[in-house]
Structure 1
Amino acid sequence: MENGNNFNESLIQAVDAKAQWYDMEELPRILDNYRLLHTCIKVVFDFLVKKALITPDPYKLDKKISDIKSPDSVQFVENERSVVMGQRFSDYESTLDFLCNYYKFSVSQLSLSNIKKLVDLNNSISWNSFSANSNKVNTRVLATMVFSARQNSDALTSSMINDNLSKASQAQNEINSALKEYTDFQKEWYKAQIRKTVILSANFDGNKAYADPASELQQIKKNFAAGMGKVPFYNELVDEIIQEDQGEKKNELQKRLLAKLNVSSEADKKVEKRIDTKALIMGALQVLGSTPSQIVAIAQKIQENHDVLESEHNSFMDKLKRALRKAFGIAEKPLFYNIIIVDQTTGAKRTEKLNYQTFMTDLATKSRRYASVAQPNSPGYKKIMSMPEEKIAEFVSAQITDCNRLMVHLNSLDDYFKSAAAPANKSKIKGLKIDITTLKNSIVKANQQRVEYTSYIEEEAQMKRLGISG
């Protein structure tokens, strides 16, 4: 009985430590991958809407999402494809939005039953096997739509869609792999809660329970509801508890279980990872590699807003001037927008002339540059990886500084479009704030990795100055 209590207490301590590791380290990583997946599928969704292949759900904003729910997956008739897939894709996106912004990724919240809901959601659209030959209705139909729309798009848009599909596939694989390991842990968490609230409770008769396996099962069932509330009773997991307590190989099972729950190996991996400083700074660059789709989406909205303003200058003389320039091969005159820049520190305002053509060219250049380093096996990534580490750090710092300048111009440009449009056209202006926030989050994340890299390098240099080897 005493040895049994010692094992219970050791196991509960090990499970609690592992739970803390999941709450602090692993579950936030799963959430990050869901956020990446959400960002990618929003781009695909907007792309299909723009191509008029799906019809957005008109009741989307009226639906209140309060739980993880997978979209419908039953077969439908072909002539309903646009409306049905619009509704299903909207439901799927809304659930991901709920997960990313409102759901608490914690061991206490993410139970076995909730893991099943996540797995069902992940399986509802297989981004990691996105094929027109898929045996899953939603995946097959969406893949057919995307492939068709992509063939009738320009090279930059096609590249953007391919990039987002690739990242969605990668994110889904990471999520599925992490959830598989986490499911194993949740089973041990469930068993540990039974030990804590049932077996170690005052009402549990240990003398009767440990007489034989059947008696322990009887005692657990008798006290289960009082200790575990409305949590389901999983027979196979309760059987594992009994085997660990009274089975022929109980000593081996107990030892193996405590070793499996040890978090020191996970901490060791983390330390090893931090030592690879070059990988750390390249990781910051790869975060920037996730931004091309965001930049392209912003550029498209800017172009559309620009077209709205230009449509206000469409008199006979405007048309004649454009025709003459085209006939004689005269280049378009540079277009400048007088935007207002606000100093975030002092609040002071100043006017700056922004060359529209140059700004759009810079956006396209940034998109191509960051797309070229998105994947570790890409030529762009390998080229930068071959540079000395300090040169890579300088390059990344320069890019982050440049991106921060871009954010200032984008915010000012958003305000300019909203104020410059004629009253009749204001509803046609597309706001940039949400897209700017998404891009800003990526830049902040890249900068955090750059700062972590810099801190580690400075700490290493300090240790060397003190004569301490790492």
Structure 2
Amino acid sequence: MENGNNFTETLLQALDQKAQWYDTDELPRILENYRLLHTCVRVIFDFLVKKAMITPDPYKLDKKISDIKAPESEQFLENERSVIMGMRFSDYESTLDFLCNYYKFSVSQITLANIKKLVDLNNSISWNSFSSNSNKTNTRVLATMVFSAKQSCDPLTASMLTDNLSKASHAMSDINSALKDYTEFQKEWYKGQIRRNVILNPNFDANKAMSDAASEMQQIKKHFASGMGKQPFYNELVEEIIHEDQGEQKEELQKKLLSKLNVEKESEKKAAKKIDTKSLIMAALQVLASTPPQIGQIAQKIHENHDLLESEHNSIMDKIKRAFRKAFGIQEKPLFYNVTIVEQTTGAKRVEKINYQAFMTELATKARRFASVAQANSPAYKKINAMPEEKIAEFVSAQISDLNHLIILLNAMDDFFKNTAAPANKSKVKGLKIDITTLKNSIVKANQQRVEYTSYIEEEAQMKKLGITE
């Protein structure tokens, strides 16, 4: 039993080290891939809504997500496609949002049972085999919708959509690969918890258990509930424990298991891998490249609100003036909106005059600018990527600062339209709050990447200043 205790002690130490590595390194990486997937899904979802291919779930905000659950996958009638897929895709996006913002990615949380839930969610839409010929209902119907709507897109939108589908595919492949390895670890973690909480329990009769395999199984079953609580009893994993303790090849199994759990190799691999700071700052740019659909949606709503206000000035004289300008090719006079800006820090208010035509032109320019770097093989992306890192960082910082100012103006524009429209038209005003929040989330994610880049650069500078070099 002394050799058995030595093996168990060594095994539990190795499991704890590996669990710490998963908690601090690997599970956060899986979470980042889910966040990338969620960003891509939001772009595709907004695109399909804009193209009227799906109907947004009207009860989305009333649904409270508290666990991982894959959307339904049953067949449905063709005339229900827009509504059913709108609801399922909305549920899928909401679950990803829950995963990315509220779910704890830790060894204690993501158990074997919860891995199954994640796998079911991942399989509900096959991004890495996204085809209209898929044998999975949701994937097939969604792919058909996307490819159909893509045919009527402008080249930039089509290119951006292709890029997001590609990113979703890569993110899902990375997630599935990581979960496959993590599942193997969780099996060993489960077995380790049985050793820690059941076999090492003072009430466990070790001498009787080690007399033969059947006796060890009997002892584990006897004390399982008191040591493992409500965790399920996986018979095949318990049998693996017994083989490692009493099997003819136990020494070989023990050696193989400890080798598999060797976390030092992972640590050495991480230490040897130098942080690619340029990739970090370019990743921030890629997040900004996902914003054109959001900006486009906002611009469309502002245009509709503008037309709504203009319709309130539709007298005979207004019509004559418009006809006269059109007949003689006279350019429209600049239209200015006096909007109220609220300073977030002080709450102070000030009025700012916004040139409507210039503002809409600027929105279109921003959308084109970010769309032009959506793909890594585009000329604009290559041009920026060839710049020195500090120049790229300056460019990204300037874009983030510019977008943050845009958020302030958009909130003011939203209030302006709601307050200015005639009472009979107030219900027709297109609200911007949800779209502004979506855009703001993208800005926050881009800024997080920028801050991470800056932290690494400052750390490297400090180490050089102290004379510490790698």
Scaled by the length of structure 1, what TM-score is found? 0.89
**2-side partners of 1:373 and 1:303: how far apart?**
26
Which whole-Å CA distance do the structure 1 matches of 2:268 and 2:307 have between them?
A: 56
Corresponding residue number in structure 2 for 1:408: 408
Name whichever of 188-197 and 341-350 sits farther off: 341-350
Is contact 1:274-1:280 (8 Å) kept? no
Name which of structure 1's ranges 233-242 and 259-268 shifts more when overlaid on structure 2.
259-268
Q: CA deviation at 1:392?
A: 1.9
Whether contact under 8 Å (1:56, 1:90) holds in the other structure is: yes
Post-superposition shift, 1:57? Answer: 4.2
How far apart are 1:198 and its partner, in Å? Answer: 1.1
Partner of 2:239: 239
Report the Cα offset of residue 270 of structure 1: 4.4
Alignment check: 8 A CA contact 1:160 1:296 kept: no
AA at the equivalent of 1:88 = R
Whole-Å Cα distance in 1 between the matches of residues 342 and 61 of structure 2?
A: 34
Q: 1:395-421 CA deviation, whole Å, 9 max, x = no partner?
A: 222222222222222222222222222
Instruction: Answer whether contact 2:54 2:85 (CA < 8 A) is retained.
Output: yes
CA–CA distance in 2 between the matches of 1:288 and 1:270? 28
2:159–2:375: 8 Å Cα contact kept in structure 1? no
Q: Report the CA distance between 1:275 and its aligned residue.
A: 3.4
Residue equivalent to 1:282: 282
After TM superposition, the score normalised by the length of structure 2 is 0.89
Q: What is the percentage of aligned positions where both structures have the same residue?
A: 78
Tell me how far 1:139 sits from its aligned partner: 1.4
- Cα deviation for residue 25 of structure 1 reads 3.5
Partner of 1:444: 444
Q: Find the aligned partners of 1:420 and 1:273 in 2 and give their Cα distance.
A: 57
Tell me, yes or no, if the aligned pair for 1:127 and 1:172 is still in contact at 8 Å: yes
Q: Deviation string for 1:169-202 (max 9, x for gaps)?
A: 3332332222222212211221111111111112
- How much has 1:64 moved relative to structure 2? 4.5
Aligned to 1:206: 206
Other structure's SS at 1:275 match:
coil
CA distance in 2, matches of 1:408, 1:358: 17
Give a deviation string over 1:407-458, Cα, whole Å, max 9, x none: 2222222222222222222222233333323322332333333333333333
Shift of 1:56: 4.0
Cα distance, 1:373–1:154 mapped onto 2, change above 3 Å: closer
In structure 1, the residue corresponding to 2:232 is in which secondary structure? coil
Q: Are the structure 2 counterparts of residues 34 and 458 from structure 1 closer, same or farther at C-alpha, using a change threshold of 3 Å?
A: closer
Alpha carbons of 1:465 and 1:126: their partners in 2 closer, same or farther (altered >3 Å)?
closer
Distance 1:65 1:223 in 2: 35
How far apart, in 2, do the equivalents of 1:417 and 1:327 lie? 30
How much is the aligned-residue C-alpha RMSD, in angstroms? 2.7
Change over 3 Å in CA distance of 1:273–1:324 after alignment to 2: farther
Distance 2:346 2:61 in 1: 39
Distance, in Å, in 1 between the alignment partners of 2:90 and 2:446 is: 30
CA distance in 2, matches of 1:131, 1:93: 19
Query: Is structure 2 residue 40 aligned with structure 1 residue 40?
Result: yes
**Aligned mates of 1:276, 1:409 — CA distance in 2:** 36
1:346-385 to structure 2, matched below 5 A, reads 346-385=346-385
C-alpha separation in 1, matches of 2:58 and 2:411: 29
Alignment correspondent of 2:340: 340
Deviates more, 1:218-227 or 1:312-321: 312-321
Closer/same/farther in 2, CA of residues 340 and 156 from structure 1, 3 Å limit:
farther
Which residue matches 2:124?
124
- State the match for 1:303 in structure 2: 303
Query: How far did 1:123 drift?
Result: 1.3
Q: Distance in 2 between matches of 1:129 and 1:326?
A: 52
Q: Report the count of equivalent residues.
A: 470
* Further displaced range: 80-89 or 178-187: 80-89
Tell me by how many angstroms 1:159 deviates.
Answer: 4.4
32-41 or 122-131, which deviates more:
32-41
Aligned residue number for residue 5 of structure 1? 5
Cα distance in 1, alignment partners of residues 133 and 106 from structure 2: 37
Question: What is the alpha-carbon distance in structure 1 between the residues aligned to residue 115 and residue 272 of structure 2?
Answer: 30
Q: Is the 8 A contact 2:160 2:290 kept in 1?
A: no
Unaligned runs of 5+ in 1: none
Moved more, 193-202 or 8-17: 8-17
1:419 aligned to 2:419? yes
- Distance (whole Å) between structure 2 residues aligned to residue 27 and residue 95 of structure 1: 18
Q: Secondary structure at the match of 2:176?
A: helix
Partner SS state of residue 203, structure 1: coil
- Distance between the aligned counterparts of 2:8 and 2:342, measured in 1? 61
1:312–1:23 Cα change, 3 Å: farther
Distance 2:363 2:391 in 1: 24
Deviation at 1:112, TM superposition (A): 1.2
